[in-house]
Amino acid sequence: MELNTIERDDIGAAAENLVVPPAATRKVFVKTYGCQMNVYDSQRMTDALAADGYAATDAIGEADLVLLNTCHIREKAAEKVYSELGRIRELKAERAKAGREMLVGVAGCVAQAEGAEIIRRSPAVDLVIGPQTYHRLPGVLARARSGEKIVETDYAVEDKFEHLPQPKRAELIRRGVTAFLTVQEGCDKFCTFCVVPYTRGSEVSRPVAQIVAEAERLADAGVREVTLLGQNVNAWHGRGEDGEEWGLGRLLFRLAEIPGLARLRYTTSHPRDMDDELIAAHRDLPTLMPYLHLPVQSGSDRILKAMNRRHMAKDYLTLIDRIRAARNDIALSGDFIVGFPGETEADFEATMQLVEDVNYASAFSFKYSPRPGTPGAEMGDHVPEAVKDERLQRLHALLLKQQQHFGASLVGRTIDTLIEKPGRQASQKVGRSPWLQPVIVDEKAGEIGDIIQVRITKTGYNSLFAELA
């Protein structure tokens, strides 16, 4: 996922068409890479900067501050950032010729992993800030504006969420009727392919009162659907309003009591933290949407052990059976890594068999890419790229077939749809199905924020088309 994507031509155009805003107004341009949590983090950084006098802009040519909120999951992520910084350096030089300052910052997981190396390789960068210290951003910027080069990547001892200012109601309304809400950060699982424990730190859960208060502010601003976020979200635990220790299932029941919140989701989960209370929430809580992203990564027990997933394929399949017994209309999504070190054809076929057994509604599949500092990068017997490519194509074809079959199974059915935004065509609006697919409806079907009943008439590549039921 990338937002506000900067292309080379955009940078050139920006350099030729610099916009000079009033001196009293500073503007910030944020480019976001990666997961939903980075999207949430970018919004919270923007909130913190708004309190410091910065207004968000979608035009890099207007920006007094450019922030790249980076992701380190995929191969060559850091190199992509350095390439982007090279283009931004040219724009910064043009700004300097025009007598205007531009600060450049790198945030997120690449910032945490690379630290001072970013400034060494890209002197145009003024500040590097990790995911746990965004609440310090205004102070860091004050130092950077005085000419100091800042690297702020120590894990914060204070709760950053308590120190981040709350966005104004008008800003929340502008963001729309769906929202992300981070409830948990970090991971203690240490899968051998994953860099998250090293860039996001150990698992930390936000307190119940803090989560409920943020959800209530979102609902007051017209948000109808909230997705709870965490690197390992179903490991969330916190002391509840009754003084007892709560798990994610109980938190979902509490959030469902908030007036105006009609839909709840959560992502991303680990199979080992899918407990009875959370499964019961899927059974008993209509507000919890019948869609679950539950990554497994491989269908081979040998590879799962090498990945340090700490479960076997049969454990995962048994868990899927329990979840479907609790909610028979639930749709499953997953993640798969192809070509992990040592993966044989038999290991890959075990993954294909697991996919056949589960029958996913959607899924994400990737070639294994070594992440520096992870145990997987030090393993031998790496799979040749050509073999990875061939296996990924076979897996992707099977997953796409299942996704299309799931979409086709909805044709003729009447479902609830949350109208989310205007469509690309003036005659259309775009809704969101319970299973997260975009639903194209007539623009007169309802207002944004309405939940309406529609009949699915046909499917597109990634979307559904519907008429008012």
To the nearest whole number, what is the mean pLDDT of the chain? Answer: 90
Say whether pLDDT at 76 is over 80: no
Average pLDDT of 47-51? Answer: 86
For the chain, give the number of residues.
Answer: 469
Whether residue 14 has pLDDT greater than 70: no
Neighbours of 6 (CB within 10 A): 18
Mean pLDDT of 245-268: 97
pTM of the full structure: 0.86
What are the pLDDT digits (tens) for 374-393?
A: 999 999 999 999 999 999 99
User: Which pairs with CB-CB distance under 8 Å and at least 24 residues apart come from 438-447?
Assistant: 438/462, 438/463, 438/464, 439/415, 439/463, 439/464, 439/465, 439/466, 440/464, 440/465, 440/466, 441/417, 441/466, 441/467, 441/468, 442/467, 442/468, 445/419, 446/419, 447/419
Q: Are strands 54-56 and 103-107 parallel, antiparallel or unpaired?
A: unpaired
Q: How many CB atoms lie within 10 A of CB 305?
A: 14
Asked if 69 and 48 count as a contact pair (C-beta separation under 8 A), the reply is: no
pLDDT of residue 225: 98
pLDDT at 373 over 60: yes
What is the crossing angle of helices 36-50 and 137-145, to 10°?
A: 60
Please give the Cα distance from 466 to 468 (Å, whole number). 7
What integer is the mean pLDDT of 431-448?
Answer: 96
pLDDT, tens digit (0-9, with 9 covering 90-100), for 289-321: 999 999 999 999 999 999 999 999 999 999 999
Give the model confidence (pLDDT) of 390-424 as tens digits.
Answer: 999 999 999 999 999 999 999 999 999 999 999 99
Rg over alpha carbons for the chain, rounded to the nearest Å, is 23
pLDDT tens readout for residues 198-222? 888 889 999 999 999 999 999 999 9
Q: Copy the structure tokens of residue 368.
A: 């294994």
pLDDT of amino acid 309: 97
Q: Are strands 428-432 and 414-422 parallel, antiparallel or unpaired?
A: antiparallel
Structure tokens at 106: 């790198």
